[in-house]
Amino acid sequence: MKKEIKLLGPLLVLLVLSSIFSGCVSQGTTTISYESTPTGNEQTPSTTTPDATSQSGSPYILASISYDTETIDNNNHIQLSIQNYGKSKATNVAIVISNDYYSNFSLVSVNPNLRVEGNRFYIGDIGAGEKLQVDIRLKAKQSGVYTGTISYTYDGLEESGKIMDLTTRVP
């Protein structure tokens, strides 16, 4: 019995320590490289952590969204947050709401004031690291359940990037 108690104590200590250390381990990676000085005789270590959300030399747009899944008084509100995580400017950025969804609504307002042509909202350029908030307010034309998608596009992007599928119920 005493041998079991003596073994139980260190086992508990190991269990606690392993859970503490496993919580401290980082999921990221670190790269250590050496740069040589002009004389070529010395090396200075430098540590860099790669940025998983950026692409060297090109724009990298990510967007988040919240929208009404059911309207009140036929009013629909779409809120977008768009950010360029890339190393260069994204040009001619546009938000596109699929026509099968958008055709069931009338545009009430968009903030900031953007150029709107049909179901396309033209943002313009988004610089590296720049973030933009867009609020779109729509009014449903009639009752129903409407589905579609919202996406973004910019110069150099081969096909549009889907942000989300939309489904809104209008009582």
Q: Is residue 7 scored above 70 in pLDDT?
A: no
**pLDDT computed for residue 57 by the predictor:** 75
Nearest Cα neighbor of 102 from 52, 139, 152 is: 139
For the stretch 105-153, pLDDT in tens is: 999 999 999 999 999 999 999 999 999 999 999 999 999 999 999 999 9
| Among the four given CATH numbers 2.60.40.10, 3.30.750.24, 2.40.50.1070, 3.40.50.800, the one describing domain 61-170 | 2.60.40.10
Average pLDDT over residues 151-171: 95
